[in-house]
Structure 1
Amino acid sequence: MAGEIPDLHAQERTGTGKGAARTARRNGMVPGIVFGGDADPLPINVPFNVLLKRLKKGRFKSTLFNLKVDGHDDVRVICRDVQRDVVKDLPTHLDLMRLRRTTKINLFIHVDFINEEDCPALRKGGTLTVVRNEVELIVTAGDIPESLTVDLSKVENIGDTVTISDVEIPSGAKLTITDRDFVICNVSAPSALKSADDEDEAEEETAEVPTIGEEDEAEGSEG
């Protein structure tokens, strides 16, 4: 999640219950509720197309949003549930939770790769392969890091790998995965070079294994 917290625009929903929810859906909206944060629940409507686009983008339930509702102060929220139509699998209702600045939440934080032009392994002809462009962290809602940084100038050789232990985790944040040192990226040999190496290995193996005719000739000469 790089840069500013994304806005999520909604309208205050007048009326509650199934009737108001059906009316909202007929008008191209998805009804929802905002709760928590020592404030009364706020019924809202979110444009269907906007919500569907956000859902297709992925990570909706682990993305922090700045909720904007006319007549109300902006508030940071995170999705706690999206109900879907059992047949069409389309969103029919969502629950958003207000967050205090001290609230701990799990978020996927974007990984920035810097100094690519100064990377010794890449200058030797290697190819950068990104395994993870975001990492899930436990962060404080009021102090969310903009990104994690991988300095490629420190990657010396083709075949070297950068793991999460090589990445500085911002103060106050914690990894959700702590039982393994997972890979962030690596620098591999170019595919053309790999193919050439494979061909060389195959030729060497072929040269080392005599054919049946050669074995017979060798046995005949020994006899």
Structure 2
Amino acid sequence: MKLDYLVIGRVMKCSLDNSVPFLTVYPRQAHQTKGQIRALRLSGRIPCVLYGEGPSENVSVCAKDIASELEKPGIFSRVFQVQDHGKVLISSIQFCSVKDRPVHVDLRRLSKNQKIKLLVRIAFLHQDKSVGIKRGGALNVVHHHLEILAPADHIPEVIEVDISNLDIGQTIHLESIALPKDVQVLHVEKDEAIASIVPPSSGDKLDVQEHSDSQSTSV
């Protein structure tokens, strides 16, 4: 069953955080020996390369800052403000294969007229209030992320989908998601399913009474 956007209400939105976090970078030598890089890491810094418009620069960041950002979802779609360099994205992080901690970071400069291709996480909100899940159904996620093309100054950090009114047999399609202006989803058709509520397995009991109550409630 295709989700009726008008009946369900304001189900989907994209989160655009106007408060851009600040990331401090420190200059470092262009050509460092393995010993110098090791000493840098022991001092609590991570070597970085800042690239994009203009020449690439060798810098470093505080390991604690990166560790803190890694605790939050969506680090690769989060825009940071860097002193003297404007806005940047963390484009990649290399980890130590033994201790599983960051050992190198790539930072990508952003310019106003630039369009960026990146993956953005989808967050399915209010699962504890979902009509279908309360009746014993399960959330079936088809896409956990969407690859988008977005202006550098208008990148959504996360796409939020409210499934509180989603019932068993209903499906959220891409065309139901209200994307920010000039943001384009790549490689996914408009009528493609993003997620749905599937019936309970044969061993689980469907809550018929709760379903009856939910049907009698106007939205």
Greater RCO, 1 or 2 (C-alpha within 8 Å, sep 6+): 2
Once the 2 structures are TM-superposed, how far is the Cα of residue 30 of structure 1 from its aligned partner? 0.5
Take 2:64 and 2:158, find their aligned partners in 1: how far apart are those partners? Answer: 28
Residues 154-187 of structure 1: per-residue CA shift (max 9 Å, x gap) = 75x5322222233233331222232685433323
Partner residue in 1 for 2:108: 97
Whether 1:24 aligns to 2:40 is yes
Residue identity matched to 1:67: Q
Instruction: Say if 1:67 and 1:24 are closer, same or farther in 2 by CA, change over 3 A.
Output: farther
SS of the residue corresponding to residue 204 of structure 2 reads helix
SS of the residue corresponding to residue 168 of structure 1 reads coil
Take 1:22 and 1:150, find their aligned partners in 2: how far apart are those partners? Answer: 44
| Residues 97-176 of structure 1: pairs in structure 2 closer than 5 A | 97-105=108-116, 106-111=118-123, 113=125, 122=132, 125=135, 127=137, 129=139, 131=141, 132=143, 134-145=145-156, 148=159, 150=161, 155=166, 157-176=167-186
Residue identity matched to 2:59: I
Residue identity matched to 1:2: S
Residues 18-77 of structure 1: per-residue CA shift (max 9 Å, x gap) = 255333212111111212223x444322122332444465654x32331334xx25x221
TM-score scaled to structure 1, two decimals? 0.61
Structure 1 segments unaligned to the other structure (5+ residues): 198-223
Take 1:90 and 1:152, find their aligned partners in 2: how far apart are those partners? Answer: 35
Contact 1:107 1:136 in 2 (8 A): yes
Take 1:59 and 1:149, find their aligned partners in 2: how far apart are those partners? Answer: 12
Instruction: Say if 1:151 and 1:15 are closer, same or farther in 2 by CA, change over 3 A.
Output: closer
Whether 1:51 aligns to 2:66 is yes
Contact 1:104 1:139 in 2 (8 A): yes
Residue identity matched to 1:24: L
SS of the residue corresponding to residue 18 of structure 1 reads coil
Instruction: Say if 1:8 and 1:107 are closer, same or farther in 2 by CA, change over 3 A.
Output: farther
Once the 2 structures are TM-superposed, how far is the Cα of residue 15 of structure 1 from its aligned partner? 3.2
Take 1:14 and 1:147, find their aligned partners in 2: how far apart are those partners? Answer: 33
TM-score scaled to structure 2, two decimals? 0.62
Once the 2 structures are TM-superposed, how far is the Cα of residue 135 of structure 1 from its aligned partner? 3.1
Take 2:53 and 2:73, find their aligned partners in 1: how far apart are those partners? Answer: 26
How many residues are matched? 188
Residue identity matched to 2:15: A
Higher helix share: 1
SS of the residue corresponding to residue 46 of structure 1 reads strand
- 1:78 pairs with one of 86, 89, 106: 89
Take 2:174 and 2:53, find their aligned partners in 1: how far apart are those partners? Answer: 34
Structure 2 segments unaligned to the other structure (5+ residues): 1-13, 207-219
